[in-house]
Amino acid sequence: MNAEYSRKKGCSADCAANPIAVVLMRALILNQLNKPLEYTETQDPLAGPQEAVVHLHAAALNRRDWWITQGQYAKIQLPVILGSDGAGIFENKPVLLYPALDWGDDPRAQSRAFRVLGLPENGTFAEQIKIPGENLAPMPEHLDWEQAAALPLAGLTAYRTLFGRCQLKAGERVLVTGVGGGVALMAMQFALAAGAEVYVTSGSDDKLAKARKLGASGGANYRMADWDKQLKTAAGGFDVLIDSAGGDGFAALLPLCNPGARIGVYGGTLGKVNGLSPQILFWKQISILGSTMGTPEEFRLMLEFVARHKIVPVVDSVFRLEDGNRALRRMADSDQFGKIVLRIR
């Protein structure tokens, strides 16, 4: 991270002038599971040593936020302000937030203390957030607030999966499953920018058409019985495959692999994998590589990559902060193509 953004941040000028005043911000707070978020006032965060208070302009939703509201996440602590992605102002400069804490010293895997913004610490569905100063990075100049807020978690996850784990090279053929979600779209955009030929899958023909407009060479609707055969006919085989679903469809990816292919897995929406053939796995020398988020250094490299290639995250829709429950319902419906964003200022 840029050291310029790591300076200690103390109380605001207004607070210093009136130390007994209680300053309140607006935030979306999860007080009960399976209940709507409450849009209400809460006390402004105060920065401690080596911390910063960022005035947020936009925040983005992730599937994680929805699972937490439904109680389907580990170690939930209430009340909490959700949200892992944010863009805002610190010391009159536009900044993005590295969306996690305590990765640790080993770049190969996160530490046991690793956690994502928005649980247990308060997240970005608020007018302000307190965060370690080292978590701040300059916002790419070609993005607006909503586009920038859509970038951190999805961009970092896609970048590590593609480049850190799967070692994507220019000229390779890539398959991204479930296009439409934030990480899948970023993986497609990153792979295209890196000079790869990209195919996608989706359960929606409309999303497949939108992906082609963004540069995908082709795709298949996984609701069709022969979707894998369609891809095999169109592309022949793939060098890198990016998946977040798992489930019964995962086994169908192995016959689509070229020898030496790498499969990057960053999620498991559909649960356990059944019917996986070890014969195909070892005979084709296929690597299956798990990936979660990314290191602070990978976040810096991802932002440089985005700035160099002028990549613009796809924003599906923008809601006001006070309409956050409507945004969560759109997330739950899984109809979005791109990131769902909250406009705060």
Residue at 178 is within a domain: yes
pLDDT of residue 248: 85
Sequence-distant (6+) residues with CB within 8 A of 196 are: 168, 169, 170, 171, 172, 173, 174, 240
pLDDT of residue 12: 45
| Domain housing 146 | 3-151+313-343
pLDDT of residue 247: 87
Residue at 307 is within a domain: no
Q: How sure is the predictor about 203, in pLDDT bands with cuts at 50, 70 and 90?
A: very high
In a shared domain, residues 139 and 165: no
> DSSP 3-state assignment of 52?
strand
Residues 158, 162: Cα–Cα separation, whole Å? 6
Structurally, the chain folds into a number of domains equal to 2
Are 311 and 23 spatial neighbours (Cβ–Cβ below 8 Å)? no
Q: How sure is the predictor about 253, in pLDDT bands with cuts at 50, 70 and 90?
A: very high
The token pair at 166 is 């799967």
In a shared domain, residues 320 and 201: no
In a shared domain, residues 101 and 180: no
Residue at 100 is within a domain: yes
Tens-place pLDDT, residues 286-331: 999 999 999 999 999 999 999 999 999 999 999 999 999 999 999 9
Are 175 and 242 spatial neighbours (Cβ–Cβ below 8 Å)? yes
Residue at 296 is within a domain: no
In a shared domain, residues 200 and 264: yes
Query: Average model confidence (pLDDT) for the chain?
Result: 92
Q: How sure is the predictor about 124, in pLDDT bands with cuts at 50, 70 and 90?
A: very high
Residues 185, 259: Cα–Cα separation, whole Å? 25
The domain spanning residue 54 has which CATH number? 3.90.180.10
Cα within 13 Å of Cα(155), Cβ side: 31
In a shared domain, residues 179 and 90: no
Residue at 105 is within a domain: yes
In a shared domain, residues 117 and 200: no
Query: Higher model confidence: residue 73 or residue 109?
Result: 109
Tens-place pLDDT, residues 143-185: 999 999 999 999 999 999 999 999 999 999 999 999 999 999 9
In a shared domain, residues 136 and 26: yes
In a shared domain, residues 239 and 267: yes
Q: What is the DSSP string of 97-110?
A: E--EE---S-TTS-
pLDDT of residue 21: 55
pLDDT of residue 1: 52
Q: How sure is the predictor about 211, in pLDDT bands with cuts at 50, 70 and 90?
A: very high
The domain spanning residue 197 has which CATH number? 3.40.50.720
Residue at 76 is within a domain: yes
pLDDT of residue 10: 40
> What is the average pLDDT across 102-120?
96
- Out of 290, 305, 328, a domain closes at 290
> DSSP 3-state assignment of 280?
helix
In a shared domain, residues 174 and 224: yes
Are 124 and 321 spatial neighbours (Cβ–Cβ below 8 Å)? no
Is pLDDT at 11 greater than 70 in this prediction?
no
A 10 A CB-CB count for 183 gives 24
In a shared domain, residues 8 and 146: yes
Query: Higher model confidence: residue 184 or residue 273?
Result: 184
In a shared domain, residues 147 and 186: no
Residue at 84 is within a domain: yes
In a shared domain, residues 7 and 132: yes
Q: Are strands 136-138 and 100-101 parallel, antiparallel or unpaired?
A: unpaired
pLDDT of residue 2: 46
Is pLDDT at 5 greater than 50 in this prediction?
no
Residues 249, 273: Cα–Cα separation, whole Å? 8
**Residue corresponding to tokens 């979660």:** 292
Instruction: Tell which residue, 246, 249, 267, has the closest CA to residue 158.
Output: 267
Is pLDDT at 73 greater than 50 in this prediction?
yes
pLDDT of residue 72: 87
pLDDT of residue 224: 94
pLDDT of residue 85: 98
